[in-house]
């Protein structure tokens, strides 16, 4: 018989901190397998703004990666997400 172990999933991290952690994991996968990356710029009021770079910069599939894969994955953990936008960050 399988015993159920209670889990406490409460965390002290803010939604933006949790979002940053999730995007770092997605970015590591993208970098390892595709040579690109994604980085959180901001997450406020249901809008996630990210910067994409490396092989993602100028790639014809970057919109598919952004909306199909990144947005789809993030929405599983943040159902309140309204939209994802790619932005350019000037340094």
Q: Give CA–CA dist 23/37, Å, rounded.
A: 9
Provide the whole-model pTM.
Answer: 0.80
pLDDT per position as a tens digit, 28-68: 999 999 999 999 999 999 999 999 999 998 899 999 999 99
Query: 15-86: which CATH architecture?
Result: 2-Layer Sandwich (3.30)
**Which residues, other chains included, contact 35 with Cβ-Cβ below 8 Å and sequence gap of 6+?**
54, 55
d(CA 56, CA 61): 8
């Amino acid at each position: 018989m399988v015993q159920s172990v209670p889990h406490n999933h409460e965390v002290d991290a803010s939604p933006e901190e949790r979002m940053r952690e999730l995007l770092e994991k997605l970015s590591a996968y993208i970098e390892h397998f595709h040579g690109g990356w994604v980085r959180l710029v901001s997450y406020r009021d249901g809008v996630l703004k990210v910067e994409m770079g490396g092989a993602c910069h100028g790639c014809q599939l970057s919109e598919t990666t952004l909306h199909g894969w990144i947005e789809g994955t993030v929405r599983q953990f943040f159902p309140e997400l309204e939209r994802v936008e790619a932005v350019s960050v000037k340094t």
